Amino acid sequence: MKNNNEKADNQNVYTSTNPIIQQKLQQLLTYLQLDDAPAGGALVVYQAGQCIAQASVGMARADLSWSPDTLSLNFSTGKGVLATLVHVLVSEHMLDYDRAIADYWPAFAAQGKEQITLRSVMSHQGNLFSIQSIDVDNDTVLDWQLMLEKVAAMPVTAPEDSALYESAYSALVYGWVLGGVIEAVTHMSLADALRHYLTEPLGIADSCYFGVPDDKVDEVAHLVKYFQTDEHAAQQISNQELSQARPRRSKPVLRADSENTLRIYSSLPSYTCWQKRALTNQAGANESAMADELPSLDTAKINRLYFNNSQLNLKNYKSALVLANKQPIDYYDKQTLQAIIPAANGVASAQALATIYAMLANGGTWQGQTLIDDATFKQLSTPQTTGMDAVMPAKMNWRLGYHRRFSICQSEASNMSAQGFGHMGYNGSVAWCDPARQLSFTFIHNFDVTMLNDVRQFALTEAVLDLIDAGI
């Protein structure tokens, strides 16, 4: 069996492991497999430019154990990578947040988009959120150049009940807009620009991709439901046989929590905090609620503390995430992994993502080199919105390309600009930085869940912050 733990450490990783934090996070990650083994995941924590903790558990593929270096499909977590590349280009004076995108990419001016700026797109205020406003199907989405043409020609679309919202999360369109302008100003392919301006300077060029190279695609973690076909592939069955054997991708659904899951939740460091917050919310909705009765919590109730699904505008959500043909995309399919869909199919290791955010946690510098200057960093980290989003059922507090860190149990600086930020993915993967703490954190996995029916990223985020603030 191949084991990624046997891989040599990245020579660019500066490690100063905190053994207590390392042990506690490894234990917690193991507990949080819940009932989903043999799937697993990995986490990495940096502070002040040093890797202080790494943990991994479970299987990434039928023949591959998880490690911090394991490549994984992280869905929208890649948006943070894409945004960081844009910020590097702004620092290089190749882009300006407040210039019209059409100044760099003339075709983008079609259908009233001539005044739309990078700032409005990166803060999700440009009304370019609706993938259903573009005539595309599953095959079209895999064609990078054709999608650039489609997005350049797309109309502006306001969300339903737009007066209620400050932003509309561009779940898919975002990637082609930013990718198109990056290629226009660098005169490089997106892959080459990513490598030249971001991943090579950070020493992670072999572990962060939009469009996985052919020689890397078989190293990407899979869902457990695909493990059997992975084994078949290892036996070199034909592509046709593999296609027939592969189960159809379907959206994970809510399931009843097991006694084991509920027991693990109740043992988490954040559980009492969650109970108190739930009680406060309950009391706010029901004045008769008893203040001394802490409620028992399941996955749905915990998740509601971060994302209130009762506030989800389903029409806007589907408009942003579901193609007009309503056919689901199998993002784990080899062809899709090798396509360029920057807003949705970013592939990276936990170590690579944590490195990017460690650079951001250090204000844009890494190992003596400045990738993002001070003026640019101030702009990218300043919240642009504070109200509800039209697509996500939460106040996202959008920066330029990042949302707020979702934590509710630790005291935060009164200055919102000083608080942590990052980006999560559809499956509940997450990467964030906290410049005030000089901290970065990444958690990625192959559990068959979504961010709206899983709470592991929140439990781990709260645990990391608690450990750091305790001075361990």
Q: Tens-of-pLDDT digits for all 472 residues of the chain?
A: 344 443 434 445 667 899 999 999 999 999 999 999 999 999 999 999 999 999 999 999 999 999 999 999 999 999 999 999 999 999 999 999 999 999 999 999 999 999 999 999 999 999 999 999 999 999 999 999 999 999 999 999 999 999 999 999 999 999 999 999 999 999 999 999 999 999 999 999 999 999 999 999 999 999 999 987 655 444 443 444 444 444 444 455 556 899 999 999 999 999 999 999 999 888 766 645 555 689 999 999 999 999 988 899 999 999 999 998 888 899 999 999 999 999 999 999 999 999 999 999 999 999 999 999 999 999 999 999 999 999 999 999 999 999 999 999 986 544 555 689 999 999 999 999 999 999 999 999 999 999 988 999 999 999 999 999 988 7
Three-state SS sequence of the chain: CEEHHHCCCCCCCCECCCHHHHHHHHHHHHHCCCCCCCCCEEEEEEECCEEEEEEEECEEECCEECCCCCEEECCCHHHHHHHHHHHHHHHCCCCCCCCEHHHHCHHHHHHHCCCCEHHHHHCCCCCCCCHHHCCCCHHHHCCHHHHHHHHHCCCCCCCCCHHHCCECCCCCHHHHHHHHHHHHHHCCCHHHHHHHHHHHHHCCCCCEECCCCCCCHHHECCCHHHHHHHHHHHCCCCHHHHHHHCCCCCCCCCCCCCHHHHHHHHHCCCHHHHHHHHHHHHHHHCCCCCCCCCCCCCHHHHHHCCCCHHHCCHHHHHHHHCCCCCCCCCCCCHHHHHCCCCCCCCEECHHHHHHHHHHHHCCCEECCEECCCHHHHHHHCCCCCCCEECCCCCECCCCCCCEECCCCCCCCCCCHHHCCEEEECCCCCEEEEEHHHCEEEEEEECCCCCCCCCCHHHHHHHHHHHHHHCCC
In a domain, 234, yes or no: yes
264 within domain boundaries: no
Residue 304 lies in a domain: no
Using CA atoms, how far residue 42 sits from 66, 213, 220, 270, 450, in Å, is 7, 22, 13, 20, 17
303 in a domain, yes or no?
no
Closest C-alpha to 220, from 37, 62, 367: 62
CA dihedral 61, 19, 458, 163 (to 10 degrees): -110
Residues 6 or more apart from 81 whose CB is under 8 A from it?
A: 194, 198, 208, 210, 346, 348, 353, 356
What pLDDT, on the 0 to 100 scale, is given for residue 254? 55
The structural domain count of the chain equals 1
Dihedral sign for Cα atoms in the order 176, 178, 181, 185: negative
Look at residue 27 and tell me if it is in a domain.
Answer: yes
Question: Is the Cβ–Cβ distance between 419 and 65 less than 8 Å?
Answer: no
- Give pLDDT, residue 284: 64
Are residues 250 and 241 in contact, defined by beta-carbon separation less than 8 angstroms?
A: no
pTM, two decimals, is 0.91
pLDDT of residue 418: 62
pLDDT per position as a tens digit, 417-465: 568 999 999 999 999 999 999 999 999 999 999 998 899 999 999 999 9
In a domain, 21, yes or no: yes
Please, are residues 398 and 123 in contact by the beta-carbon 8 Å criterion? yes
Residue 282 pLDDT: 80
Residue 13 confidence (pLDDT):
60
Pair 251, 450: CB distance under 8 Å: yes
Instruction: Report the CATH number at residue 38.
Output: 3.40.710.10
pLDDT digits (tens, 9 = 90+) for 383-421: 999 999 999 999 999 999 999 999 999 865 445 556 899
> What is the span of the domain harbouring residue 438?
1-255+318-472
Q: Which token pair is 287? A: 């004045």
- Is residue 261 included in any domain, yes or no? no
To 10 degrees, what angle do helices 456-469 and 19-31 make? 160
Residue 265 falls inside a structural domain: no
Task: Give pLDDT, residue 243.
Answer: 45
Q: What is the pLDDT of residue 138?
A: 94
